[in-house]
């Protein structure tokens, strides 16, 4: 099998732009790797081999004609099932739709404009409702580090595809931790950007104020390059982020001396972090101090995000369920969730959005004293696959609590937050820590994450 899968997105684009390898060769290597590995992992829901090879050939033709190359020239990418890709059905992880999308979502259009080659779409739980990638429609997606374990979710298919080198980078989404959770469980870098940083077009929002799209990557630089290619808004977006500088430049810049507060206290009451996660945060705090930062334990004084999160969660599921062509085909758990969320009227939803503003202000008090907050990303080790298999809405929600205990608050608050790999735990599976930044300050998180990546490099097995 080709060794091209070992390359990150930045190096792949450099080689294809220089003519050292063709985009067709890279795309073919990606498709071969998908064919070899995916049957045992279930990362991919749709593979568009013919279209990908044709798109790669167009990249090679453009290069030969002397046209300028984009920052992702010839880089294979995968797209989470909730995002439109022209010619494929936007399944949302289920069977509710049957008609292929007529056009790309804006974020996919921008990826193609940057030179990327779309090779397929990735599995997710229906509507991304749960932090584990499993359901009756698409089955169980497995963690490549240990196929008996979950890769997390809801961007679990994307995480598996990137971790195994099926592609160097893939698009996910995060409405309650869905980029960061699978990144933590699969050993990836995953930055949830500031609310409104990435357009949600053709939809005006993703789960109202909670959701945003973004990449899962093997390197910090790849994430930065991807974001610079896709970020920005269109007129129909409900939310827009504030101004910020180049993400790519930030990933290549020393962060300087930062004030970093750390805490292992969960936001969610009744959840206890696994001791391995506590040790990972403490070890990262020591490393950051050794790198010259002002590091201290803090009390984040977390507000309770429930009153803002829960109504928007139900409203988001109900909105997406209302868009599908065949609502009778929705999974039983999804139909139950839609029914249980009937109390979220537009008035209740708007009240929850006002609570979001208040909770955001309270959550951001911690940044009066520090520049970055360091916490665990998730509370538990990756559970065995089937963790929500056969469970209803209430049972699945209880199982989700340890996964979202540190993540969901920052969807409510809107702040950027990233999972940064922190090595392997004693169980042989990856472990990650979360870095949370001030509003609109992804650049500091990228600079600091790149510094950690250099000081404590992470790598992947030759699957």
Of 17, 22, 30, 80, which residue is the catalytic one?
80
> Which residues are 418's β-sheet partners?
191, 435
Q: Is 192 a catalytic residue?
A: no
Residue 58, classified by CB atoms within 10 Å of its CB into exposed (0-12), middle (13-18) or buried (19+), is: middle
Of 154, 263, 447, 449, which residue is the catalytic one?
154
What are the φ/ψ torsions at residue 90 (nearest 5 degrees)?
Answer: -85, 95
Q: Is 155 a catalytic residue?
A: no
What one-character DSSP code corresponds to residue 88? S
CA angle 105–65–24, rounded 5-degree value: 60
Q: Is 154 a catalytic residue?
A: yes
Distance CA 434, CA 439 (A): 15
Q: Which residues of 183-204 are buried (b: 16+ CB within 10 A; e: fewer)?
A: bbbbbbbbbbbbbbbbbbbebe
User: In which element (H, E) is residue 62 found?
Assistant: helix 49-64
Q: Which two tokens stand for residue 451?
A: 């510094």
Distance CA 321, CA 440 (A): 31
Q: Tell me the residue ranges of DSSP E strands in 175-330.
A: 189-192, 212-217, 259-262, 294-297
Of 17, 22, 30, 178, which residue is the catalytic one?
178
Catalytic residue numbers?
80, 154, 178
């Amino acid at each position: 099998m080709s060794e091209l899968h070992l390359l990150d997105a930045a190096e792949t684009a450099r080689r294809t732009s220089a003519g050292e390898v063709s985009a067709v060769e890279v795309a073919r290597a990606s498709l071969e790797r998908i064919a070899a590995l995916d049957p045992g992992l279930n990362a991919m829901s749709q593979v568009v081999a013919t279209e990908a090879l044709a798109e790669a050939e167009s990249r090679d033709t453009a290069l030969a004609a002397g046209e300028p190359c984009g920052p992702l020239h010839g880089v294979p990418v995968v797209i989470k099932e909730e995002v439109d890709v022209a010619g494929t059905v936007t399944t949302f992880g289920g069977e509710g739709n049957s008609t292929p999308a007529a056009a790309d979502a804006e974020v996919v259009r921008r990826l193609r404009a940057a030179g990327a080659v779309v090779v397929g779409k990735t599995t997710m739980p229906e509507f991304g409702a749960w932090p584990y990638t499993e359901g009756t429609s698409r089955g169980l997606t497995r963690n490549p580090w240990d196929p008996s374990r979950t890769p997390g979710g809801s961007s679990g298919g994307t995480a598996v595809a990137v971790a195994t080198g099926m592609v160097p980078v893939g698009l996910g989404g995060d409405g309650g931790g869905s980029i960061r959770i699978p990144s933590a469980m699969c050993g990836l870098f995953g930055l949830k950007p500031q609310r409104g940083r990435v357009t949600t077009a053709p939809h005006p929002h993703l789960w109202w104020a909670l959701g945003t799209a973004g990449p899962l990557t093997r390197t910090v630089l790849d994430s930065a390059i991807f974001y610079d290619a896709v970020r920005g808004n269109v007129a129909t977006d409900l939310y827009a982020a504030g101004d910020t500088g180049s993400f790519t430049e930030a990933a290549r810049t020393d962060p300087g001396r930062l004030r970093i507060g750390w805490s292992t206290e969960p936001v969610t009451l009744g959840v206890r972090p696994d001791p391995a996660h506590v040790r990972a945060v403490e070890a990262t705090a020591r490393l950051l101090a050794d790198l010259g930062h002002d590091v201290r334990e803090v009390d984040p004084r977390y507000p309770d995000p429930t009153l803002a999160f829960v109504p928007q969660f139900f409203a988001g599921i109900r909105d997406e369920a209302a868009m599908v062509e065949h609502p009778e085909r929705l999974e039983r758990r999804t139909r139950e969730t839609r029914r249980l969320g009937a109390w979220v009227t537009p008035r209740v939803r708007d009240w929850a959005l006002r609570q979001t503003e208040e909770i955001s202000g309270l959550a951001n008090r911690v940044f009066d004293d520090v520049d970055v907050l360091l916490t665990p990303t998730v509370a538990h080790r990756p559970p065995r696959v089937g963790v929500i298999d056969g469970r209803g809405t209430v049972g699945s929600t209880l199982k989700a609590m340890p996964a979202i205990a540190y993540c969901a608050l920052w969807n409510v608050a809107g702040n950027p937050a990233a999972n940064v790999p922190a090595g392997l735990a004693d169980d042989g599976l990856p472990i990650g820590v979360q870095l949370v930044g001030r509003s609109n300050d992804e650049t500091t998180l990228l600079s600091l994450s790149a510094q950690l990546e250099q000081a404590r490099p992470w790598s992947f097995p030759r699957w």
